Structure 1
Amino acid sequence: MTPDARGLSTIFGVAGVLHFLRPAVFDSIVPGWVPVSARCATYVSGAAELGLAYALRKPHTRSIAGYVAAAFLVAVFPANVEMMRQWVPQSRRKAVVSVMRLPLQIPLIYGAWRVGKRNVA
């Protein structure tokens, strides 16, 4: 397993578990235009992250999981924007964290895409 796949699997696994342990944190950043309840979106995205964490660890699913992970990260990007929108006015620390989070999504998306591309048989 490549470092990209291992790292992404760990990130998705931790994030997925946190969605179930601390759902209110994630509920608060679900954009209002999402057509399901915030809690439903939190649980569905948490389950998806756990599934991706598992699939990224298995050689026979790693390639498709890499591409799906890249698409997933793009799909949840609006939640990161919503977090920034909410956190910037709250405190300097939250502003820095939420603003820095946005560009950090780019290497995660690229890494996921590389996992997909690298593992195509």
Structure 2
Amino acid sequence: MAFHWSSTATQTLSAAALSALLLTSAMKHFRDPGFYRQVVPDYLCRDEHGSPAAPPASAAVASTRPLAVMTRDEWIALSGLVEAGAAVGLLIPATRRVTATGVAALFGVFLSGHVDAIRRAYGPDGSPVQRKVHTVRLPLQVPLILWAWSLRNAGRRTGS
């Protein structure tokens, strides 16, 4: 008797693979946060020290960054926690659709960080290594978004 992969089995395997990728990435956020530092846009980051007695120049920067509610390291930790939660949510069939939608949106949001990182890499302070790394990382977001989006239809028949 021949074995036939069902669409549900394929979706489950795909969800498990994306879950493993997310969990690996989440762990890397805490083991090697420096890997993610360049993809957190400056406009999201407040003063690393968060000191209330910041010098006047810092206050001027803060007023031009209304989204700067956390430090770069806090953003990295938060995104690692979100990825870990998403990894779990993808494994649970009852939460897979909403989690996959959220993961696709999350990867879409991450895209802006990658665009900002590549802009800086090709700017006057960028290095050849940064240009290579971010030139590779940016286009990888598209298949990740599509992969997450494809998991939204887990278990649905496609008319065949």
What range describes the TM-score normalised by the shorter chain of this pair? 0.7 to 0.9
Contact 1:13 1:50 in 2 (8 A): yes
Partner SS state of residue 99, structure 2: helix
1:83, CA displacement in angstroms?
2.8
**Residue of 19, 30, 48 corresponding to 1:9:** 19
TM-score, with length taken from structure 1: 0.85
Q: What residue number does 1:22 align with?
A: 32
How has the CA–CA distance of structure 1 residues 119 and 37 changed in structure 2, closer, same or farther, with 3 Å as cutoff? farther
- Which has the larger displacement, 42-51 or 6-15? 6-15
Q: Deviations over 1:73-120 (max 9, x none)?
A: 0111122123323444312x5423311222221111111111012357
Task: Provide structure 1 residue ranges, at least 5 long, that are not aligned to the other structure.
Answer: none
Amino acid at match of 1:109: I
Contact 2:30 2:80 in 1 (8 A): yes
Q: What residue number does 2:143 align with?
A: 107
How many residue pairs align between the two structures? 119
Percent identity reads 27
**Residue of 98, 108, 115 corresponding to 2:134:** 98
For the pair shown, the structure with the greater C-alpha radius of gyration is: 2
**Residue of 17, 31, 40 corresponding to 2:74:** 40
- Which has the larger displacement, 107-116 or 20-29? 20-29
- Which has the larger displacement, 76-85 or 55-64? 76-85
